[in-house]
Amino acid sequence: MPVILRIVLIISSVLMLIYMLKKVKKSKVQIEHTIFWIILGVFLILISLVPQI
């Protein structure tokens, strides 16, 4: 996986996680929907840090 793609993936995943956590804090989104996005964001960060998985 190219380095630039890994960096973009990490940055976008972190921004998505921050956005979802802010939405949960303001109670504008249900927790059930947010769990999916948080798991997806953590998974994408893991894949970008360790692409051999």
Tens-digit pLDDT profile for residues 6-48: 899 999 999 998 988 888 888 877 778 888 888 988 998 898 8
Please give the model's pTM, rounded to 2 decimal places.
Answer: 0.75
**Tokens 């804090």 — which residue?**
25
Q: What was the pLDDT predicted at 12?
A: 92
| SS3 letters across the chain | CCHHHHHHHHHHHHHHHHHHHHHHHCCCCCHHHHHHHHHHHHHHHHHHHCCCC
Q: Is 3 in contact with 48 (CB distance < 8 Å)?
A: no
Q: What was the pLDDT predicted at 15?
A: 92
> How far is Cα 11 from Cα 17, in angstroms, rounded to an integer?
10
